[in-house]
Amino acid sequence: MSMSNETIEKLIDQAGVSIISSVDEEGFPNTKAMLPPRKRVGIKEFYFTTNTSSMRVKQYCKNGKACIYFFDKRFFRGVMLIGAMEVLTDQKTKDMIWCEGDAMYYPLGVTDPDYCVLKFSAHKMRIYQNFKSETVDI
């Protein structure tokens, strides 16, 4: 029942939304929908833009344990990636990820201190399809 990496990457690219989860200070999972990753390297590394002042950033600074999830509602398929989330605020990474339209969210532009990058590194994956699941190391 395996899904090829090609199919997984297609599912991720077509999902239209990224579901990002963290663990809060009281040990509860916290979940949020975010824009699709701005950049990804296969199914191993994912980069997202976000607000430095956000609750999610605070949580990831304290506890980098994370999962990101993409799903295809029509076909009841989903891919959960488990791994580590890093909060990157160095200008080189911010420059790499920045797009023109981002100024709408970060009025001070690419050097806006409220603009930062979330980098997710996957080490395990769980695939759902045909009402069954399978865990795969990455």
d(CA 49, CA 46): 10
Using DSSP, state whether 70 is helix, strand or coil: strand
Site for its own copies in 31-90 (CB under 8 A): 31-33, 54-55, 63, 65-67, 69, 71, 73, 78, 80, 82
Q: Which is nearer to its own copies, 33 or 92 (CB)?
A: 33
22 binds its own copies (CB under 8 A): yes
Q: Which is nearer to its own copies, 1 or 131 (CB)?
A: 131
Backbone φ and ψ for 33, nearest 5 degrees, come out as -85, 135
Count Cβ neighbours within 10 Å for each residue of 106-129 and write b for 16 or more, e otherwise: beeeeebeebbbbbbbbeebebbb
Q: Which is nearer to its own copies, 26 or 100 (CB)?
A: 26
Q: Which residues does residue 117 pair with via DSSP β-bridges, in sequence order?
A: 49, 88
Q: Which residues bind its own copies (CB under 8 A)?
A: 16-17, 19, 21-24, 26-33, 54-55, 63, 65-67, 69, 71, 73, 78, 80, 82, 105, 126, 128, 131, 133
